[in-house]
Amino acid sequence: MSGGAAAASPPQLAGGGVVVDDDALLLSRRATAPAAGRWSLPGGRVERGETMAHALVRELLEETGIECVVGELIGWVERISDEYHFVIFDFAATPLSFEDPVAGDDALEVAWVPLDEVDQLDLVDGLGEFLAEHGIIATL
């Protein structure tokens, strides 16, 4: 590559947890870019040598303080901008404890949000549509 242009980083693999319990969805308000301050599914990047399931269990625990078991794949999305390219696989996850979530370092706050109130939050782009398309919340 010439002209001093920086090479774009390759796509990064990430996982998100769709954790539903007692008609509420576990959501995290992001503390960092991209989409800082907006609500998202808890999750994060897969580290080298880690399986997707192990990464998601780790990320859910780090971000929410709740240990979960990862279930079936619900769907996937890509988020692409000039600064990043994420390929995100979202899985159903079942909590092993029913304690209140506690926000980790990369979350401003985490909360159980009633399913019928999820669409009222400032969600990351495309999340409401994704959740509606996969039957997690009612159609927007």
Residues identified as active-site:
109
Q: Are strands 43-45 and 107-114 parallel, antiparallel or unpaired?
A: unpaired
The pair of three-digit structure tokens given for residue 45, joined into one six-digit string: 């990047």
C-alpha pair distances (Å), 54 with each of 27, 47, 94, 109, 132: 19, 10, 14, 23, 27
CB contact set of 76 (below 8 Å; sequence gap of 6+): 87, 88, 89, 90
Question: How is residue 3 annotated by DSSP?
Answer: T
Contact call for residues 34 and 73 (beta carbons, < 8 A): no
Query: What's the number of CA atoms in the CB half-sphere (13 Å) around residue 56?
Result: 25
